[in-house]
Structure 1
Amino acid sequence: MSWRIEQKLAERLAEETGYYKFPFGSRHTMAICYPNTYEVGMSNLGMQIIYREVNCHEGWQCERAFVPDKEMAAWYEKDHTPLLTIENQRPLCDFEIIGLSVNFEMDYFNVPYLLTQGRVPPLAVERSETDPLIIMGGPVAFFNPEPLTPFVDVCIVGEGERVIHDLLKIYTLIKKEGGTRQNVLDALAGVPGLYVPSFYIHEYDEQGNLCRIIPQKGAPASVARQWEELTEPGETVVSTPHTAFGAMYLIEIARGCGRHCRFCMAGYCYRRPRVRPLSYIKEAVLRGKTLGKKIGLMGAAISDYPQIDELVSFIRSEGLSFSCASLRADSITPAIVKGLAESGQRTITLAPEAGSKRMRDVINKGITDEDLFRSIDLATAAGIMHVRLYIMIGLPWEEDEDIEAIVDMTQRVREHMKRIGNTGKITLSINPFIPKPCTPFQWMPMANKNVIEHRLDIVKKAFHREQQIELLIEPLRQCYIQGVLSRGDRRVGEVVALASRYGGVKGWKRAVKEYGLDVKKYLYASRPLHAVLPWQVLDMGLAPNYLTYELEQAQKGEFTKPCWEGCRRCHVCGGINEY
């Protein structure tokens, strides 16, 4: 083992507080891996929560591993050292279970890399009785795990705080009785919220379309998504100065969203919206204060939290700075922007998503230009002068006129800022729309790359001489790879496995060509409403016709109002749908 790697991991652990460390092998062992760097992974609250849950489960210990940065990757390669965990510096192959926390499509390529570097056969079919069991959680695991099923044995469908305990109990019992790997999978396949991909056969017709998903060995026809009532803590477990957010203490104040934005997977997979009690959040803030940390408020729409003004006032009264994961222009308050300004924030980020009212109605955004102007007024009065606007192009039923509307909206925002004496900069963050599973747009195609490039040119030409208007555009190559991965099937997973041999995402094009994958079919073809979808086994709890109803509403440009107390229309909260 390289002394440099040992020293680096020891230094990293020494800078942390709140981690768990037990003598290796004194308990059952699990390693939780985030398929990105330490800085990115330690910014993920979900991974930290599962890390805590496993370490608090009787007889278990959990350690962490991440994709090494360039410097450490070179050390690993030069010294032929397997990927090691932080706590006890053990190779992944020494663990009984490896958990993958996957949140973003472009991290898929790091999954086989992590396993290979940890001396674990990356493909599930190649593992023996002595290899670790690979489980996967995170949003990817319950909106469309199929492109990663070649690598994983079990997927946690939904929120995993309770399900992980069910899994560990069953594993412990079966291993105590001398059971095999197959015995474990047989038992786990019957647990609500656990999806065992090998128990489902995917059949294709002569045109290469998925036509049947056949459960095997008594596996359920569908796997119900699990969700929590937020009774357990939702805050930073391991504190470190090295995260993508800086030295911040993260607190989840709410989970789920009831706004019904039709493009948003989180709004459908995490439904219903739930909030944590203000009393708990205040206590969590004080725990962050003892560590001298800035407070990071996490949730789908922070400004929608019912007692957000009181919470912000409390944070500031304790002399603490804070940051928000997201804000909505129609619910932002003077207290929020004042607190953000006092915390050193210099840019307000808003997400109209589209320029025209027509397109905002199609996607059910519910934001008006007046909402934007009011938010900018509040921010300017508080001393926040710069504005960032999130925009999508290539939305369903979009026309060139809707792109011109983005230009018009931005110019109106600029004129409004001038009128109120704000000389700050506008940043347009523009990304192509990517259809997501489990949303009303799951059947829709992604806009052709030529169309996207043409529409981006409209915006670029409009502002190429504007020094106060900046454009940030995600590389289109990555967007179109995400488009294939997002709604892909197991064949896409085979291409990911092939690409990993050729350097990961760098080998994507070569792998696609070698495998013969028709990426245009995944990107540009509309899927019939009766089509068998790769993720169809997973049950989000929605009424059977709810997504098709919302798709019809989108095409008509009809607005769906947010969830309300006692709402039963989508069936997630029980009862009969009422739309």
Structure 2
Amino acid sequence: MDWELKRELQEKLAGEQGYYRYAAGTRQRFALVYPNSYFVGMSNLGLHIIYDLLNKRRDTACERFFLPERQRIARYEKTRTPLMSIENQLPLYEFPLIGFAVSFEMDYFNVLKVLELGKIRLRAAERTEQDPIVIAGGPCATFNPEPLSLVIDAFIIGEGEVIMPAFMDAYARARAAGVSRAELLLALAAVPGVYVPSLYEHRYDAAGRLAAVEPLPGAPERVCRQWVKDLDAWPAHTVVVTDDTEFNLYLVETARGCGRHCRFCMAGYCFRVPRNRSLALIEREVREALPFGKRIGLMGAAISDYPEIDALCRNILGEGLSMSVASFRADSVTEELVASLAESGLKTLTMAPEAGSKRMRAVINKGIEEEHLFHAMDLGLAAGISNYRLYLMIGLPFETAEDIEAIIDLAGRLKDYMEERGAKGTLTLSINPFIPKPFTPFQWSPMCEKKTVERSLKRIEQALRRRKHIHIIAESPREAYVQGVLARGDRRVAAALLRAHEMGGSKAFRRAMREAQLDPAFYLYRERSPEELFPWERLDMGFRKEYLYAELQRAQKLLPTVPCFAGCHRCGVC
């Protein structure tokens, strides 16, 4: 045990308010792990929600673990100290249940590092009766668990509030009955929304395509995503307050899900249907935040779509607090929202047209037009906000060279407009290579060739280089293509992930793929046939596969799909 590492965790705990801490032996231990730094993990609202939910049970003591920073990892390894919890500085291997909250594909490498530091066997098949059960939830677990299928014992498919209580009850009953590990996993698989990968056999044809996913005896035919029907029954806000977070906000969730039908957006499909919390509940949560004096961070798919956003803004500022938002749509933003953000000290207004041309925005069904962008900029300039950011993607399905030129043209005209209005601020383009994700209409589409994406990015950078105060931030195409394999990969990719870990992590992933005789192009650049079986087929998001394919055809024809509305039964979720 390294006492310096333990002291640092104790100091971190001392800087927190609102944590739970129970005496050893009084409750069932649960390790809640965010596979990234404390700084990043404590900015994740989902972590707070599950931490609060589990600790409010009478039988569970949930403690948090995070991936240490690089220099701390070296110290853990040098001193052979097992990874310890924040609350009681207990080693990870002492927790019979370990749950990962996984939001990003690149954190898969961190999952393996955390288990290694915690002295846990990496391969689920090698764990014994004395070893912990390792589970994973969050967006990545819900969409495509297969790249982690050799590591994770069970996945939470959907929203944890409605799955974890039943999961914990099933776990407690099975443990009390003294069943074997295999019997325990079968019992957990019977819980709605729990996917146990070892209970499904994947078979491939001669071309390497997935031919069948066969459930073993006792496994459910399909695992249905579970979701909260009444958000007011499950308040969601910051639980553990600390200054050591990415934005130093007190987070409050206003809504969940999105019904806009953007065809690239996995969250828009897998968190459907759109649901709003009542204004009264959110106002109560804002009042509970008053003692901490922090800026309120409103969380939701599109804050400006919240039907009572203006009243909420007035309430927050009326309580003497400031506010920030996760995102808003340029076609629904209000003058009061922008003015409230400006009064709260916002320096940069962010908009997400995703594409530069009207044609590409029709392909992805974004619903944002240029007049919306200029109107939102008008509101921002009137409120005194001088800096603007655009979120854009390149490499989208059906994209042409003209669509790349349209990004350059749009950026130039928006910057001209800023200058005409006397704004001397910066226009930032945040550009990401597009990754076709599971459970979206583009899951059949190939990812754009890396060389093409790099060429498009270079074209944008060269064209805008001479414009003062236009900045370009671009995600690394190399990393995006690793994400692409992990997002779309089948069970065979899990072996390459483990091998990459042995060779040092994400930078060794391509070499690990070659050793596993897997071609990244098979996962990235191959267009799928309408009949192709996907690795995630046993998961049921509530909508029909035929609906998604029809949306792909509508994208190619530039046909719009209207947002969700009361009484709609198009996709099947309702």
Shorter-normalised TM-score: what interval?
A: over 0.9
| Distance of 1:471 and 1:169 partners within structure 2 | 50
1:76 maps to amino acid: Y
**Residue 109 of structure 1: aligned partner:** 109
**Residue 234 of structure 1: aligned partner:** 236
SS of 2:161's partner is coil
In the alignment, is residue 295 of structure 1 matched against residue 303 of structure 2?
A: no
**Residue 573 of structure 2: aligned partner:** 572
**Residue 245 of structure 1: aligned partner:** 247
**Is the Cα contact below 8 Å between 1:353 and 1:360 reproduced in 2?**
yes
SS of 2:415's partner is helix
**Is the Cα contact below 8 Å between 2:77 and 2:117 reproduced in 1?**
no
2:397 maps to amino acid: P
**What do residues 336-393 of structure 1 show as CA deviations (whole Å, max 9, x unaligned)?**
1111111111100000111110000000000011000000000001011111001101
SS of 1:251's partner is strand
**What do residues 409-430 of structure 1 show as CA deviations (whole Å, max 9, x unaligned)?**
1111112212222221110111
2:263 maps to amino acid: R
| Distance of 1:198 and 1:58 partners within structure 2 | 31
2:201 maps to amino acid: I
Runs of 4+ displaced beyond 2 Å: none
**What is the alpha-carbon root mean square deviation over aligned residues?**
0.9
1:245 maps to amino acid: F
Cα drift, residue 491 of structure 1? 1.0
| Distance of 1:412 and 1:292 partners within structure 2 | 40
Could you list the runs of 5+ residues in structure 2 that have no partner in the other structure?
none
**Residue 425 of structure 2: aligned partner:** 424
**Residue 550 of structure 2: aligned partner:** 549
**Residue 41 of structure 2: aligned partner:** 41
Cα drift, residue 218 of structure 1? 2.4
In the alignment, is residue 366 of structure 1 matched against residue 363 of structure 2?
A: no
**What do residues 424-451 of structure 1 show as CA deviations (whole Å, max 9, x unaligned)?**
1110111111000000000101000111
**Residue 66 of structure 1: aligned partner:** 66
**What do residues 182-225 of structure 1 show as CA deviations (whole Å, max 9, x unaligned)?**
12111111221111100000001111111100000121211100
1:33 maps to amino acid: V
| Mean Cα deviation higher: 97-106 or 186-195 | 186-195
Cα drift, residue 162 of structure 1? 2.0
TM normalised by structure 2 equals 0.98
| Distance of 1:429 and 1:232 partners within structure 2 | 34
Cα drift, residue 542 of structure 1? 0.4
Cα drift, residue 78 of structure 1? 2.0
**What do residues 272-309 of structure 1 show as CA deviations (whole Å, max 9, x unaligned)?**
00010100101111111111111000000000000000
Per the alignment, do residues 430 and 544 of structure 1 end up closer, same or farther by CA in structure 2, a change over 3 Å counting? closer
1:565 maps to amino acid: A
**Residue 215 of structure 2: aligned partner:** 215
| Distance of 1:70 and 1:185 partners within structure 2 | 34
| Distance of 1:33 and 1:133 partners within structure 2 | 13
SS of 1:447's partner is coil
Cα drift, residue 506 of structure 1? 2.2
SS of 1:5's partner is helix
**Residue 224 of structure 1: aligned partner:** 224
**Is the Cα contact below 8 Å between 1:34 and 1:100 reproduced in 2?**
yes
| Mean Cα deviation higher: 129-138 or 420-429 | 420-429
**Residue 23 of structure 1: aligned partner:** 23
**Is the Cα contact below 8 Å between 1:288 and 1:294 reproduced in 2?**
no
| Distance of 1:95 and 1:339 partners within structure 2 | 45
Alignment of 1:252-401 (within 5 A): 252-401=253-402
| Mean Cα deviation higher: 409-418 or 78-87 | 409-418
Paired residues, number: 572
| Mean Cα deviation higher: 415-424 or 497-506 | 415-424
**Is the Cα contact below 8 Å between 1:147 and 1:492 reproduced in 2?**
yes
**Residue 441 of structure 1: aligned partner:** 442
1:182 maps to amino acid: A
In the alignment, is residue 503 of structure 1 matched against residue 512 of structure 2?
A: no
SS of 2:17's partner is coil
**Residue 78 of structure 2: aligned partner:** 78
Cα drift, residue 51 of structure 1? 1.0
Cα drift, residue 510 of structure 1? 2.4
Cα drift, residue 335 of structure 1? 0.8
Cα drift, residue 30 of structure 1? 0.7
TM normalised by structure 1 equals 0.98
| Distance of 1:493 and 1:58 partners within structure 2 | 36
**Residue 576 of structure 1: aligned partner:** none
2:234 maps to amino acid: E
Cα drift, residue 512 of structure 1? 1.8
| Distance of 1:368 and 1:361 partners within structure 2 | 10
| Distance of 1:461 and 1:167 partners within structure 2 | 54
Cα drift, residue 70 of structure 1? 2.1
Alignment of 1:96-245 (within 5 A): 96-228=96-228, 229-230=230-231, 231-245=233-247
SS of 1:162's partner is helix
| Mean Cα deviation higher: 107-116 or 510-519 | 510-519
| Distance of 1:68 and 1:418 partners within structure 2 | 45
2:359 maps to amino acid: R
SS of 1:219's partner is coil
SS of 1:108's partner is helix
| Distance of 2:23 and 2:122 partners within structure 1 | 27
Cα drift, residue 566 of structure 1? 2.0
**Is the Cα contact below 8 Å between 1:301 and 1:327 reproduced in 2?**
yes
Could you list the runs of 5+ residues in structure 1 that have no partner in the other structure?
574-579
**Residue 4 of structure 2: aligned partner:** 4
1:97 maps to amino acid: L
